[in-house]
Structure 1
Amino acid sequence: LAAGCIRAKSPAVFIARLREIGDELLLARPTAVNLRWAVERMIGLAEGMAEHSTEEIKEALQQESEAILAEDIAINRQMGMNGQVLIPDKATVLTHCNAGALATGGYGTALGVIRAAWEKGKRIQVIADETRPWLQGLRLTAFELMEDKIPVSVIADNAAGALMRRKKIDVVITGADRIAANGDVANKIGTYQVAVLAKAHRIPFYVAAPLSTIDAATKNGDLIPVEQRGSEEIARIGGRQIGPTGVMTLNPVFDITPAKYVSAIITETGIIRPPFKKNIREALNRGRSRT
């Protein structure tokens, strides 16, 4: 879309403007690493075509974006098939935020695993955290699952522990915005507390994410930048001021779940289990050998 809006005729000027737009996109989502992967792939393609016309570069970028979309859907489906073996028949699965078709090119990561389990005939139930402050679980995850006729119930974010204690949850699965080299996971705020609760109740906590989400250059989760947003997201609901005017808020958008709380990471090349540092490195090497 950005490439189509650039009017420059000179390939050098076009590529320079494309880089600027790419940098702006990366600043918009500093925590997520997939965006950087896709932006760098597109800019790398354009830079490799510096001797071509701008129209040829635009056409190549269009084709590359369509290839990325097709690859993403195929990867999600393979992740789903790999991960569904971890979901028992008749299980109740808790998920947090939205990691479905609406958050990916299609099918989803965490929801892709749930979909694959359902398509395999497993009679599962899903519990979706509402996921404040933007309610992605209520607005998006519940919508996707209802469209697929997969049984889903939405809970308040602070209800998960009580349900785990009553043995109403069998498995937890989430997506990820970035995974460090040691297996620490950055994901939507609230993921960490769910992982800690799952560990305390001996419930497996799985993360579904493509290899492109793994940032081998980031040694651990403490080095992952966590995006902070404004107070209006918390103090206002549905455009209406709920909190006192001028109330102070803290609004981190993501949190870091240490690897010790993660049972396994589901990827398109297979399931990564602890010890994560070693097994993540091996998984990335296998992934490179396939490309």
Structure 2
Amino acid sequence: MSEKNRDGKRTARERLAVEREKQKAADKRRRALIVGASVVCVLGLAAVIGVVAANAGKDGGSDAGPVVGPSGAQGKDGLAIPVGKESAKSTLTVWEDFRCPACRAYEDAYRSTVKELTDAGKLKVEYHLATIIDGNMGGNGSHNAANAAACAQDVGKFPQYHEVLYRNQPPETDDAFAENSTLLKLAGKVQGLDTPAFRRCVEKGTHSGWVKKSAEAFQKGGFSGTPTVLLNGKNIYQDQTMTPAKLKQMVEQAAAG
């Protein structure tokens, strides 16, 4: 091999090494930006990641207007949307954000078990809506999706629309839920939801003030992130062995007395 060829190959290797170092540096900067925007913690439930609210108090709906709660809202200040029978012996309290990837992971893992238990009258779920991703990533998607979900509650379609929102959740950095057109299009996937009353509620932001109040309650509650899940008041985040099967066993034991 000529000296010229050896020099050429050596130069190519050097250029490749430089490019690799540049890529490593770019990756390091990107990771630093992500960590700076939100701290992550390991969630025992289904081994998903919970996003901690670095700016949980910042809600995109700053001009939220009057507090108008959705139909049937319960709990302190009427901030909980109930699903299941009031007579159920166990209550699952869920704080969630429709833009939160960890919330979707929790829903995907536990949805069928929770539905089975609520349908059987053994479990009642109280959903509380938070907007921490709007605060961390910017935008209004968490807020607007929560308002739309509250509008769905008004017409008795909250559980169905709740599922549709999570199944069609955009990437965390994509604020697609900020667009009412997106939320209304997804309503078409729920039979009987896409009505003039629902559309007016979404477009006018009827429940925006209620969503803002719920977001403030999340911040004041001292919760570390979403989803926060409590069974009969006990934070089952802390149970690293929690699974859908274990949750079902606990609820059925309580139902049996």
Structures share fold, TM-score greater than 0.5: no
Higher relative contact order (CA 8 A, sep 6+): 2
